Every structure is written in structure tokens, then in C-alpha cells.
Amino acid sequence: MNADGGKTFEQGCEVKAAAEQLFNELGLNLTTAVNIFLRQAIRTGGIPFEIKVNTPNEITASAIAEGRRIMRDKNTKGCHNMDELKAALKE
């Protein structure tokens, strides 16, 4: 709690700045936005939006699996910097 009895929340500087910019564009400050979230959570009896893992579609999942197979392949030549990559692409 801070001196006036209110709660303080810690968040990363980049996250806070991005949130403040967004809420400012909506005509809100961070405190008002947090209060809206809290009141909506109370009203809905839970988090007022869906929280889920982002599951990739079939094409993306296949590309991820292929990339992992390539990484594990001992015969795959790797590049350690951009110059090596450019040289490998010219081959």
C-alpha cells in the first residue's frame, strides 16, 4: 500500500509506457483503465476476456516441426553470422 492507502502495481517500463499511450488515445489514464478492468472482473465474476494459448494453425505447426527437425539434423550446415548466411545462400 502507498501513503494514501491505495495499492501500487509493478509492471515493466515498456509495458507501462505502451499501455499509457493506448489508454491516452482512448481518453483514459492508467488508473482509470485498471479500475475499469477490476469493475468488469467483479461484474463478470472472472477475468473479463478470454485467456488462451495461441495454438498455431496446421501450416505454421508444420513449419515449426520442420525447423526443429532441421536444427536436430547433424548434417545441416549452420551459420553464425550474416556474412556466413550470405555466402551459404550464394552456394
Q: What does the pLDDT read at residue 5?
A: 58
Q: What does the pLDDT read at residue 83?
A: 95
Q: Report the predicted TM-score, pTM, of the whole model to 2 decimal places.
A: 0.48
Cα–Cα distance for residue pair 54/52, rounded to 1 Å? 6
Q: What does the pLDDT read at residue 2?
A: 55
| pLDDT-flagged residues of the chain (< 50) | 1
Q: Give pLDDT tens digits for 40-56.
A: 999 999 999 998 888 99
Amino acid code (one letter) for 36:
I
Cα–Cα distance for residue pair 15/17, rounded to 1 Å? 6
- List the alpha helices (DSSP H) in the chain: 13-25, 30-44, 58-72, 82-90
Q: What does the pLDDT read at residue 12?
A: 72
